[in-house]
Each structure stands twice: as C-alpha cells, then as structure tokens.
Amino acid sequence: MPGFGDSDDSPFADMAGFVGLLAKSIDQLPTSDGSVDLVGFSFGGLAAAHLAWGDADVTVTPAGIPDIIHVSRPNAGAQCADGRTRVCVVPAAGHWGQYEAGQSVNELLLQLWQDTENSLAGAGRGA
C-alpha cells in the first residue's frame, strides 16, 4: 500500500476512488486462492478497512470485529470460523503503533508471515 511518502499521488481524491484503484491492483496479484493479507497503519489502515468492509462503521473494540465482518461481508463468516481472520492488539500502542511499539509490531508481523508460510507449505502450496 502507498505510504511513507514513497508513492505517486493517487489519481483519486476520494476514498471510494482510491479503494477502487486499490482493489483493481490487488485483483492483478497472482494468488493461488484469491486471498491476500493486508496490513496498514494510519491512512493505510483506513484504506484497508474500507476495502474489506466498505462503509460499515469499523470503530469498535477488537471483540466486536467478527460481528462487523459478518454484517458487512456475509460470506466472510467462514474465514473467521476457520481461523483465516485474526485480530491482534499491540499493548501500549496507539494510532502510531509501528513507532510507539516498533519491536512488538515487527515481531507480530513476522509471526503472522511465518504462520502464513507454514500453512501454505502444509497445504502443498508453499515454496
């Protein structure tokens, strides 16, 4: 996702246009099952939330996220049930979690990546 000033400006100035462009870009990624992992901070997190849930209100406690997913994406219930959707809270981190708790965020992202690699390898799709 764009961020940290390393990207060109979006041709769209509204969230719907930007998320549509992001969705088209993601659709071009070569995946074995059509799923992708999104991680975003600040604007990237907001864009990822709009991509996943549309205009649903995503301002909730972590415990309420499965309810939002079920209401806004009815077919996503299977992803929650089979463990493909995870919510992680980084203690002592706020809006700028990657700065406020960088080591914890990096360890969490590394663990998520390793878990994904292990599950793909176990399914015969990994490297």
> Span 40-48, mean pLDDT?
77
Is the model's pLDDT at 103 over the cut of 90? Answer: yes
Residue pointed to by tokens 């070569």: 30
- Chain Cα centroid distance, residue 107: 17
Q: Which of 8-12, 25-29, 70-74, 82-86 has the highest mean pLDDT?
A: 25-29
The answer to whether 19 and 47 are in contact (CB under 8 A) is yes
Residue type, 120: L
> What pLDDT score does 51 carry?
81
**What average pLDDT does the chain have?**
73
Average pLDDT over residues 103-113: 90
For 24-49, what is the mean pLDDT? 79
Cβ 40 vs Cβ 32: under 8 Å: no
DSSP code of 33? Answer: S
Distances 97 to 42, 51, 116 between C-alpha atoms, Å: 9, 21, 22
C-alpha span between 42 and 81 (Å, rounded): 28
* Over residues 24-33, mean pLDDT: 81
